[in-house]
Amino acid sequence: MAGLLDKERIIAPPGFNRWLVPPAALAIHLSIGMAYGFSVFWLPLSRLLGKAQGLDGSLACPADLGFVGEVLSTSCDWKISTLGWMYTLFFVFLGSSAAIFGGWLERVGPRRAGVVAAFCWAGGFFISALGIHLHQILLLWAGSGIIGGCGLGLGYISPVSTLIKWFPDRRGMATGMAIMGFGGGALIGSPLADVLMKHFATATTTGVFETFLAMGTLYFIAMLCGAFGYRIPRADWSPPGWTPRASQSAMVTTRHVHVNEATRTPQFWLLWGVLCLNVSAGIGVIGMASPMIQEVFGGRLIGGAGALAELSTEQKAQIATIGAAFAALLSFFNIIGRFGWASLSDLIGRKRTYFIFFLLGTLLYSAAPAAGRSGSIALFAAIFCTILTMYGGGFATIPAYLADMFGTQFVGAIHGRLLTAWSTAGVLGPVLVNYIREYQIRQGVPNAQAYNTTLYILAGLLVAGFLCNLLVRPVAERHFMTDSELAAARTGAKLK
């Protein structure tokens, strides 16, 4: 078995078709991309005990129980904000594991990393299912949040440097292909989860326990297929008929910076800020996409009237399906943005592409509250669909941005370290959305308006991201590797 996972085992033979590699990346990224669709589980998970006792809603905890008591209690339902920490842990451990194991991945190759990612991601589902059965939120945090988050990190970065090496002639498109599946995971996973929960649900259960088991099994199989489909090019390989040309842009280098040296440059930390601020502005909204549209529009989603809390059980079920469909729709535009914006960046440059993200995104976040107040579901959805194209496009463009600035030799490891920005955003974004929402509600703000202040704050984050991108300049000469250092790295020297 060890031989099957060796890096030398997956070096492609002469004449190998490089277009066979992107489907392997998609198999893994479509699986781990379900992290974006977890909002479809929040409401069912928050009603487990209430449903078991025949209640229409959640079984609330005593007001004086406290946070620790709520976490340890098996006699009252979890709050959505408590469940949201699982979503935060996803991205904290995604970034952390990518930073820690990025160098290891470069040494052992994407197949071994993909197999480990499959065990972590699917194992997280199984541990979470046990947590649902025992009503222990700590098992959900440890399972899907921590172990699953490590699977996210390894699965996320495993194809990036591989596809950049296979497509040096179309670097932005390559990173778009590598990452677009992650944005599309919820497009498949959210509706599938909704169907499975309805299939497994009974008069006293929500069906979420069985759904976690089923989806964990499916994802494990798909990710193993993807991992064993990976191939890497020989060191001297290049696309037929293509020869490297010196770039006319000072923002694109043909040289290479060592991963350890890259983190000492101001460019790395400016791009860290660019990614963190762009992600923070979108990730919290994605995590609450399903409940947000349900609470903002309530009965208007099904052609009626009334707030969500005033509707019947049957109406709430209909609206829950619409919420899941909205999350899937956002995921679809996330996919389009990852491939489309990254490909466009090959033509207009990475820096200009990010300028568009920050300027247009600021305008759209600022306009979203007014769209909600107007009652226009189509306008509200259009705003967030556009935002999601740029959110996804930011993820897909950043590896090419890094390759432009630091070269391709260590881009996978550099990208892994930069993803700690995603970890930070994974805390900042959901905390802003979840806790400001709850504070607003405690102050008497109607649920339908509880997201407005947060959206204005997220628009401010994009202004800060614009400034970070504005300050990015070419890397100074002293940071680049010499020819002898590069030759040593390419003959098998390990990352230090």
How far is the C-alpha of 226 from the C-alpha of 383, rounded, in Å? 34
How far is the C-alpha of 235 from the C-alpha of 102, rounded, in Å? 19
Q: Is the pTM of this model over 0.85?
A: no
**Cα 338 to the center of its chain, rounded Å:** 11
CB-CB contact of 455 with 365 (8 Å): yes
| Domains, in order of start, for the chain | 20-236+255-490 (1.20.1250.20)
Which pLDDT does position 146 carry in this prediction? 94
Measured CA distances, 86 to 74, 135, 140, 470 (Å) = 18, 14, 7, 34
| Token reading at 368 | 């979203």
How far is the C-alpha of 52 from the C-alpha of 437, rounded, in Å? 28
How far is the C-alpha of 315 from the C-alpha of 304, rounded, in Å? 10
How far is the C-alpha of 433 from the C-alpha of 287, rounded, in Å? 9
| Of 140, 85, 198, 117, residue with least CA distance to 434 | 85
How far is the C-alpha of 77 from the C-alpha of 58, rounded, in Å? 6
Alpha-helical regions (H) of 228-288: 259-262, 266-287
> Cα torsion at 69, 70, 75, 77 (round to 10°)?
170
Residue 395: partners with Cβ closer than 8 Å, 6 or more residues away: 179, 182, 183, 275, 279, 338
How far is the C-alpha of 94 from the C-alpha of 293, rounded, in Å? 27
Measured CA distances, 454 to 11, 280, 375, 440 (Å) = 48, 11, 19, 10
pLDDT 10s digits, 222-276: 999 999 999 998 877 888 877 766 555 678 888 889 888 999 999 999 999 999 9
How many Cβ atoms sit within 10 Å of the Cβ of residue 75? 10
Which pLDDT does position 252 carry in this prediction? 84
For residue 434, which amino acid is it?
N
Which pLDDT does position 64 carry in this prediction? 78
How far is the C-alpha of 439 from the C-alpha of 416, rounded, in Å? 35
Residues of the chain with pLDDT under 50: 1, 493-496
How far is the C-alpha of 450 from the C-alpha of 128, rounded, in Å? 30
- The residues with which 11 forms a beta bridge, in sequence order, are 232
How far is the C-alpha of 315 from the C-alpha of 201, rounded, in Å? 17
- Phi and psi of 232, rounded to 5°? -120, 150
How many Cβ atoms sit within 10 Å of the Cβ of residue 336? 17
Place of tokens 């932005």: 172
Terminal Cα-to-Cα distance of the chain (whole angstroms): 28
DSSP E strand boundaries for 74-216:
none
| Of 260, 285, 30, 231, residue with least CA distance to 111 | 231
Task: Give the orientation angle of helix 452-470 with respect to helix 266-287, to 10 degrees.
Answer: 160
Per-residue DSSP letters for 429-481?
A: HHHHHHHHHHHHHHTT--GGGTTHHHHHHHHHHHHHHHHHHHT--PPPGGGSP
How far is the C-alpha of 448 from the C-alpha of 464, rounded, in Å? 28
Instruction: Please list the helix, strand and coil fractions of the chain in percent, rounded to the nearest 5, in that order.
Output: 75, 0, 25
Which pLDDT does position 361 carry in this prediction? 93
| Of 175, 130, 127, 124, residue with least CA distance to 152 | 124
| Of 226, 146, 147, residue with least CA distance to 185 | 226
